[in-house]
């Protein structure tokens, strides 16, 4: 990630797809990395295929790195606001082969794609595993993290 020197994150809780797209464009994001374990969504415009198509129309590439998604137990902890349990579960998950592979993939993509943004559901980045991913990339690649927030509905 040496070229862009910045990694963005964004959550889509309580926001519309168009508000997220506007925020990504404003920030100059070129690649959205979906770090959800499950890419279907009850929120309009955020299921994998719909999201990828909308991003494409705005000149933003999309990739889903399932290995960086949170296991079910971690998602349940996040919903309860239990960040300590979420962190413990996610740290254990990061030791899996799939997570290690996708962390490497993220680093490779970020070097080639320009400004990258991690996407997950939670609006508050401090209650989301994407913060843990961003911190790993920050420490490893010496980038600045910027947490984007689209306007709520």
pLDDT tens digit sequence for 44-54: 999 999 999 99
Percentage of the chain modeled with pLDDT above 70: 97
Class at the top of the CATH hierarchy for domain 6-147? alpha beta
Instruction: Report the 10 Å Cβ neighbour count for 42.
Output: 6
Is the Cβ–Cβ distance between 38 and 72 less than 8 Å?
no
User: E strand or H helix at 97, and its extent?
Assistant: helix 97-113
Instruction: Report the 10 Å Cβ neighbour count for 24.
Output: 23
Instruction: Report the 10 Å Cβ neighbour count for 4.
Output: 20
| Domain edges within the chain | 6-147
Q: Measure the CA–CA gap between 152 and 116, rounded to whole angstroms.
A: 22
Tokens found for residue 94: 């990061």
User: E strand or H helix at 116, and its extent?
Assistant: strand 116-120
Residues whose CB falls within 8 Å of the CB of residue 119, separated by 6 or more in sequence, listed in order: 9, 10, 11, 12, 20, 32, 33, 34, 35, 36, 130
Per-residue pLDDT band for 152 (boundaries 50, 70, 90) equals: confident
Per-residue pLDDT band for 141 (boundaries 50, 70, 90) equals: confident
Average pLDDT, the chain: 92
- The reported pLDDT for the residue numbered 2 is 42
């Amino acid at each position: 990630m040496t070229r862009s020197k910045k990694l963005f994150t964004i959550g889509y809780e309580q926001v519309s797809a168009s508000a997220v797209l506007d925020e990504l464009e404003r920030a100059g994001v070129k690649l959205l990395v979906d770090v959800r374990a499950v890419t279907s969504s009850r929120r309009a415009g955020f299921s994998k295929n719909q999201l990828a198509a909308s991003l494409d129309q705005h000149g933003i590439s999309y990739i889903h790195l399932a290995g960086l998604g949170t296991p079910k137990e971690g998602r349940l902890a996040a919903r309860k606001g239990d960040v300590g349990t979420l962190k413990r579960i996610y740290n254990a998950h990061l030791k899996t082969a799939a997570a290690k592979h996708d962390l490497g993939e993220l680093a490779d993509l970020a070097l080639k794609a320009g400004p990258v943004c991690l996407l997950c559901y939670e609006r508050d980045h401090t209650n989301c595993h994407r913060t843990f991913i961003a911190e790993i990339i920050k420490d490893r690649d010496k980038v600045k993290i910027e947490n984007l927030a689209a306007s709520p509905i």
